[in-house]
Structure 1
């Protein structure tokens, strides 16, 4: 029984890691990138504030920001009331990508969760 549970846990970890580190289907972004675009759309954030929301280090978040800026989804700008900090902003391409994320991500996540559920049910049958 413990071996089957370990296999299940390993499989779940693999799926979660894949979602976090590899692009999701047609989105061409992983979950943290999707989250970051969503956070920036809702609130004016610095990289440090985004890192806090994501629960990531400043370095990891900075890497996400650099990648999303290179892809044209984010920009960094200084606002007049606080010239010492750079704030993140969605570009028009970022706004378009966010619309795709909001439309497609729920179905993709539901599919991933269904896959995990089916795998768990199958593992339980095999160990019973």
Structure 2
């Protein structure tokens, strides 16, 4: 099955580091506002999700959500979550670590779109 969200090896390692400090984590792909369009990392249960959010999948066993309207723009792409040096989101757990999560993407192939029911 095609995954809608994946993470780089560096990101997976960093998530495990954050989990050792903060416990179970969850992610939400921001749609703009205060922290731009960064993937935001929170302690699990810190945000409430509902009908206006889509669970894209899991990275490092952490649920990864995106707002339904944002999903409509990005549903034809696989999100690739990376970690880079820099200032993280002001509400995201990686902020004090001198790193930030970054979303990269790639367009699904025709075969992947068929598998995902996007055609």
TM-score normalised per structure 1: 0.28
Bigger relative contact order, structure 1 or 2, given CA contacts below 8 A and separation 6+? 2
Q: Which has the higher strand share?
A: 2
- Please say which structure displays the higher CA radius of gyration: 1
Q: Which has the higher helix share?
A: 1
TM-score normalised per structure 2: 0.29
